[in-house]
Amino acid sequence: MNATLRIRAKEVDDEGSLIAVVVWDLPEPLPPCTHLYKYRLFYGTATEERVRYDNERGKGDHRHFRGNEESYSFSTIEQLLADFRQDIQAWRRL
């Protein structure tokens, strides 16, 4: 399966936390997903995962937030990025 890189971004914010976004276009869905993307969005440090969204074969779309993992209802890349940014803001308000 050949994938094409769509987005790759990495930054360190003012607090020293890493924000990393990688999104691939796929030629066919990664089961059980029905969309054509493979993604991993991460916010945290080298020792602490604060927020992560990803999808994987057999597991599907899900997010990790405040130490909990839950299924994520994927709709679009734009909405995924907006939800990720919203979770980062929620974490910073803690």
User: Which residue bears the tokens 């779309």?
Assistant: 61
Phi, psi of 77 (to 5 degrees): -60, -40
d(CA 68, CA 92): 17
- Looking at residue 1, its pLDDT comes to 60
How distant, in Å, are the alpha carbons of 20, 23, 64, 75 from that of 67?
18, 23, 6, 24
Cis status of the peptide bond prior to 31, with omega within 30 of 0: no
* Extents of the domains making up the chain: 4-92
Render pLDDT for 31-68 as a digit per residue (tens, 0 to 9). Answer: 999 999 999 999 999 899 999 999 999 999 999 998 89
